[in-house]
Amino acid sequence: MKKTNNEEPVEVFAGTPLDAGMIQSLLEQEGIQAFIQNEFMGNIAPWQVTAGGSDAAKVVVANADYEKAIQIINDYGQQ
């Protein structure tokens, strides 16, 4: 059985750099440390980061915060 590392980063959101920044801010307000992958390349050349250039910016959190982060994002989307 493989052990999971609670500090291993996992993706919780993919979208535009603007949306990713808003999600990062939302998570950090709730005490979850979040990072954006491909923030700059998502603006400059998104087609080099993802196929078709859609959803180039990714928000990642620690594996231990995954469930809480998903709940916060889902609650925010329902407002």
Q: Structure tokens of 6?
A: 């609670």
Q: ∠4-62-79 over CA atoms, to 5°?
A: 125
More confident site: 50 or 66: 66
Give the fold, CATH level 3, of 9-77.
Alpha-Beta Plaits (3.30.70)
| pTM score, whole prediction | 0.77
Q: Structure tokens of 45?
A: 């050349």
Residues in Cβ contact with 77 at an 8 Å cutoff, skipping those fewer than 6 apart:
none
Is the pLDDT at 1 greater than 50? The verdict is no
| Domain ranges for the chain | 9-77
Question: What is the rounded CA–CA span in Å between residue 25 and residue 5?
Answer: 24
DSSP 50: S
Q: Structure tokens of 56?
A: 């180039």
More confident site: 38 or 60: 60
